[in-house]
Structure 1
Amino acid sequence: MLSELTANAVADAETRRAARSLVDVEREALLRPAALDALEVLHPAGQVKVIAEIKRSSPSRGALAPIVDPAALARSYELGGASAISVLTEGRRFGGSLADLVSVRAAVALPVLRKDFISTAYQVFEARAAGADLVLLIVAALDDDALRELFDLIVDLGMTPLVETHSADELDRAAALGARLIGVNARDLSTFELDRDLFGRLADRFPDGAVRVAESAVQSAADVAHYRAAGADVVLVGEALVTGDPVANLRAFLAV
């Protein structure tokens, strides 16, 4: 599944590239105002922090919410106390787009993450041109050379890489990059199975000083408490927010 998602994301990016060249996108990226400092915003604190996700559907759950106005949802997230907004821009299986990211960036003062299956420089420049402050890199989808190249490009453009892992080996690879924002995804992107205890088993492998992000398997405040007890500084939450009351749920999560 991960290979398919990544290949499709590249194919869609190539279609966009035919209409808007790398030179043009790079120029737009370099003309953007400086990215927000996501590491400062997500720095560990006495209270858990939340990256709230705009997510219409997923391969594992199907349609979740229509989200006709992603900017309005992002403003609700900001009102509810989210520290950052994740925007799924993959179109085929998640129903997202770069237009969603552009509208969210214009609507909120929080750092915005481009969450997609990133494996080319063109996609990174697209992210900055659309106003992203963070870009997701999935270790399982990239070899070491590509991971390093994309990581360095994201940093050079002033953005923050969120390096996503799903095993001890992948977490070690993230640490070797010097990543300062590292996620553990409870969902295996090859099988889409969930393991809510994976974060806890890997917590001791995070490098000193890294911000520790728990991703997936958050449906309730109890799930947030579970991750917080295991050492998470940040939780990334999508489904529970788009299918329920986003402000009330966020406030419940932040009360943990």
Structure 2
Amino acid sequence: MTILDKIIANKKLEVAQLRSEVQLEKLIKSPGFNRTPLSLKKSLTAVGSTGIIAEFKRQSPSKGIINDKVSVIDVTNGYLDAKVAAQSILTDKNYFGGTILDLMQARSVNETTPILRKDFIVDGFQIVEAKAIGADVILLIAACLTKEELKNYGKLAEDLGLDVLYEVHSKEELDKIADLDNKIIGINNRNLKTFEVDLEHSIELASQIPDSCIKVSESGISDPRIITGLKEYGFQGFLIGENFMKTENPGLACQEFVSQIR
């Protein structure tokens, strides 16, 4: 059993428990549910966009604790000062040390920039919850969903006004996504089964994605020069977390990084 298998098995139990405790109707009636989500597509393609999706991540299964000292509000303000295109908030507790409160706190100080709920979506309930807590974008990981689930969850998110970042790591996973046209496709440079990072693999896979898609490179980006190189292969978004979070001041680290790619 891979780490991903364990995470998904755990997540299904977690969501089943949540569904027994929280009524869907309660989420739909919550104040945040009526908010109009911000567009990740527009943010990534805007003239002068940094393309950076800066992540708040306390820990990971491969690295352990990355940074458990900084507050999500301070980091969010720092990222906003860096003019990021979007921010990503980990809401998985067991493996990444996050909670939905992190996203809600970030939203309380961020009214201008899209927020991605970074989690392992295995149930439509989580998508409704994402809207209720103030997310603008959800992540659908092709490695842990069927073709039918990717289609249905994508449609639900769309109906709720949320953007979807479809994450793939191989041609087989890419083929699971129905009608790629105009979708946001994230290529994870980290293999979720082995946790090894390979940027060359992403570049090869990028050539098989239609030009109508917005391509996002995820994980393992630690040098501003990598961004310049990836742009040549059509990437418009760059999800970076650990590189900023491993510093004492992630917001400042992000500002310095962005200043070197402009």
Contact 1:81–1:251 (CA<8 Å) still a contact in 2?
no
**TM-score under structure 1 normalisation?**
0.93
**Aligned-partner Cα distance in 2 for 1:48–1:84:** 9
- 1:2 corresponds to which of 4, 19, 24: 4
Provide the residue aligned with 2:257 in structure 1. 252
Q: Aligned pair in 2 of structure 1 residues 254, 16: CA closer, same or farther (>3 Å)?
A: farther
Provide the residue aligned with 2:150 in structure 1. 147
SS at match of 1:18: helix
1:132-157 deviation line (CA, Å, top 9, x unaligned): 00000001110011111100000000
Provide the residue aligned with 1:197 in structure 2. 200
- 1:77 corresponds to which of 70, 76, 79: 79
Question: 1:23-34 to 2 correspondence within 5 Å?
Answer: 23-28=25-30, 31-34=33-36
**Aligned-partner Cα distance in 2 for 1:100–1:67:** 14
**Aligned-partner Cα distance in 2 for 1:201–1:54:** 28
Q: Aligned pair in 2 of structure 1 residues 237, 163: CA closer, same or farther (>3 Å)?
A: same
**Aligned-partner Cα distance in 2 for 1:48–1:229:** 15
Provide the residue aligned with 2:13 in structure 1. 11
Answer yes or no: is 1:113 the counterpart of 2:116.
yes
> What's the Cα RMSD here?
1.9
Provide the residue aligned with 1:172 in structure 2. 175
- 2:106 corresponds to which of 99, 104, 128: 104
- 1:158 corresponds to which of 133, 150, 161: 161
**Aligned-partner Cα distance in 2 for 1:174–1:44:** 25
Answer yes or no: is 1:241 the counterpart of 2:236.
no
How many residues of Structure 1 are paired with residues of Structure 2 in the alignment?
A: 256
Answer yes or no: is 1:183 the counterpart of 2:201.
no
Contact 1:48–1:232 (CA<8 Å) still a contact in 2?
no
Contact 1:224–1:253 (CA<8 Å) still a contact in 2?
no
**Aligned-partner Cα distance in 1 for 2:31–2:233:** 38
Greater shift, 243-252 or 114-123, is seen at: 243-252
Q: Aligned pair in 2 of structure 1 residues 247, 94: CA closer, same or farther (>3 Å)?
A: same
Answer yes or no: is 1:216 the counterpart of 2:219.
yes
**TM-score under structure 2 normalisation?**
0.91
SS at match of 1:192: coil
**Aligned-partner Cα distance in 2 for 1:175–1:51:** 25
Q: Aligned pair in 2 of structure 1 residues 103, 249: CA closer, same or farther (>3 Å)?
A: closer
SS at match of 1:233: strand
**Aligned-partner Cα distance in 2 for 1:118–1:147:** 10
Contact 1:215–1:236 (CA<8 Å) still a contact in 2?
yes
1:47-103 deviation line (CA, Å, top 9, x unaligned): 651000000000111100015421221110010121101000000010000010111
- 1:123 corresponds to which of 120, 123, 126: 126
Q: Aligned pair in 2 of structure 1 residues 15, 143: CA closer, same or farther (>3 Å)?
A: same
Provide the residue aligned with 2:67 in structure 1. 65
* Structure 2, unaligned runs of 5 or more: none
Contact 1:212–1:231 (CA<8 Å) still a contact in 2?
yes
* Structure 1, unaligned runs of 5 or more: none
Deviation of 1:254 after TM superposition, in Å, equals: 5.2
**Aligned-partner Cα distance in 2 for 1:123–1:88:** 13
